[in-house]
Every structure is written in structure tokens, then in C-alpha cells.
Amino acid sequence: MDIKDLTIFARVAAVQNLSSVAAALGVSAGTVSKRIQALEDELGVRLIDRTTRSSRLTEEGRMFLERTERILAEMDLAKGELSANSTQPAGSITIAAPAILSRQIVTPAILSFVTAFPGIEVHVDVSDHVVNLHEQGYDVAIRFGTLPDSTLKAKRLASDRIILVAAPGYIERAGSPQRAADIENHACLIHGEQRNWTLIRGEARINVRAAGRLFSDNGAFLQMAADQGAGLLRTSEIAVLDELTQGRLIRVLPEFELGTEAAIWALYPNTKHAMPRLRAFIDHLSAFCRERLASPVLDAATEDEPVGPQARAK
């Protein structure tokens, strides 16, 4: 039984689409179908019902998938342990990270990591889209804000605050909001469709509907727009530390925050043993954040902890 066929089967089972798996592997959909067929022929059962639009596991396929996932996990663990016993961890890791943190954290941390660990190949997806680590094949996701419930493990890299900022030029032109309700009369830069903002001061919570005409699913784009005076931005404080220090952006309604228990996190699957290369990356990232973010916004990193029942991360 070919381990590559098992890997293809597990990927098709996860995404339920031959074409998506073929594109990720750089082969044709026909090749993927043939490898699944070879596995079925060897086992003497049909594992996946395939149509032109989708692929769905049979009952036998679901049973076999449980065993396959264990086999692949053990193989990956064995490879990791062997590489850990050699000079340095080796292999590849795939990382999802938000665009708004790319300048402050993601890019410099990963560049220093690949220098420190020449045996590890790093694939980085910089995007603000929500990703599913299990189904989309990511090893770790960097995220800011408040975590949703998840079966993932979480490493707190740095404390953060979700704040409201604007450029001095915008404030001179439009005035500064004096109370939370004033936001509804300002140009707001809106991430995705997140129009509903909650401003928090102590126990008080004030809900406002952000007004604005500029929308984007890319936080880095909205940050640049704010820097050029386009409007009010709801953002991670760490993401705009340089702009705040240099005075290019200033806090608006500084008595409020727009999130509770916010932080920068590394999220990864809640398995008994993390791969040595993944552990090396998380430890490197944690150390990088301690050194780079030596400021009042940084708390000591905590131990890794589970974060709840859903397996999704940003």
C-alpha cells in the first residue's frame, strides 16, 4: 500500500473535491482519481463516491479514513523524531497569517526562522481569510484578537488591544469623535462586513454601527488607507505600534477598547506530540515576539492551551 495514495485519499476526504486536491498537489484530477481507484482496487471496496461536482465518502471510506489519519500522523511523528535526533528539525511547515501583522511580526519572524533552521521549508499564506487548519492543510495559524472556541491549541505570543485610530490629517478635517455614538457620523474603514463595533469601557459596552464607504478583506490595505487619512480604523494595537510611536496615527476615543482579552496567538492542532519543526517554529515565534514587542502591550507568553470545540482560526 503506497503512503502517497493514503495521503491523497485523506486530502480528498477532507475537502471532498478531486480538482482542489489535484491543484494543491500540482497534478491532474485524473491522476488523483486513478490513485484513489488503485487504493480501492487493492482494498476491494469503494471508498469515495465520485461525481463531476463532488466526492463523498462511503461508509467503508469513513471507517478507513480513521485508520489512515492515524497512520499518517504516526508517519509524520516518526519523521519528526528522526529529524529531531539529527542536527536540526527538518521538513516543511505551512503557515496562515493575517496581512495586517505581516510587517510587524510575520515577515521578520519568518525570515529569522528560515535563517536559524535551514532544514525547514516554510510555506506562508498571508491573508485575512478564515482558514480551517485540518481541512486546508495548515500546520499553524497566527491570529490576533479574541479567540473563538476551538479544538486547536493556542500559544499566547503577546497581549494586544483592539483600538480605534485615525491619521492626524483626518482628525483635522473631520474632527475627533467625542463619544461612541459619534462614530456613526464618521468615515470608517470596514474590514470585511464588520459594521457592528462594540466599544468597551470597564463593564460598559456600547454597540455602534460603523458608517463608511471603504470596505476590504485585507487589514494591511485598510491600515495604509488610515495612514493616508481615509478614516477611522478598528485595529490591533501591535499592528500599528510604529505609526502610533511616530505620530502618523493617533488613538481615537482612547478610553475605549473594541475587544476583550485580545492577544496575538499561534494556533495549531491539539495533538499529543507537536512535530519538532512545528515546535521549533512556535518557540522561535514566541521568542521573537518577546524581543520585538518589548512594550507595555506585551505580557509574558502563556503555556499552550486548548481553546474550545470549533476548529477554525484566523
Question: pLDDT tens digits for 146-175?
Answer: 776 567 888 888 888 899 999 999 999 999
CA–CA dist 6, 1 (Å, integer): 8
Q: Which residue has the higher pLDDT, 233 or 15?
A: 233
* Confidence check: pLDDT of 295 > 50: no
- Please write the tens of the pLDDT for every residue from 167-207: 999 999 999 999 999 999 999 999 988 899 999 998 899 99
**C-alpha distances out from residue 298 to 193, 247, 268, Å:** 29, 20, 21
Same topology for domains 3-83 and 162-251, yes or no?
no
Q: Of the given ranges (75-89, 133-147, 299-313), which has the lowest mean pLDDT? A: 299-313
β-pair type (214-216, 188-191) = parallel
Q: What is the pLDDT of residue 314?
A: 42
Query: Domain 162-251, what fold?
Result: D-Maltodextrin-Binding Protein; domain 2 (3.40.190)
pLDDT tens, residue by residue, 31-45: 888 888 888 888 888
Angle of CA points 177, 179, 184, to nearest 5°: 65
pTM of the entire structure?
Answer: 0.64
Specify whether the CB–CB gap between 297 and 244 falls below 8 A: no
Query: In this structure, how many other beta carbons lie within 10 angstroms of the beta carbon of residue 255?
Result: 10
For the domain bounded by 3-83, which CATH number is listed? Answer: 1.10.10.10
To which CATH superfamily is domain 87-160+262-306 assigned?
Periplasmic binding protein-like II (3.40.190.10)
Structural domain boundaries in the chain: 3-83, 87-160+262-306, 162-251
- 297 — pLDDT class (breaks 50, 70, 90): very low
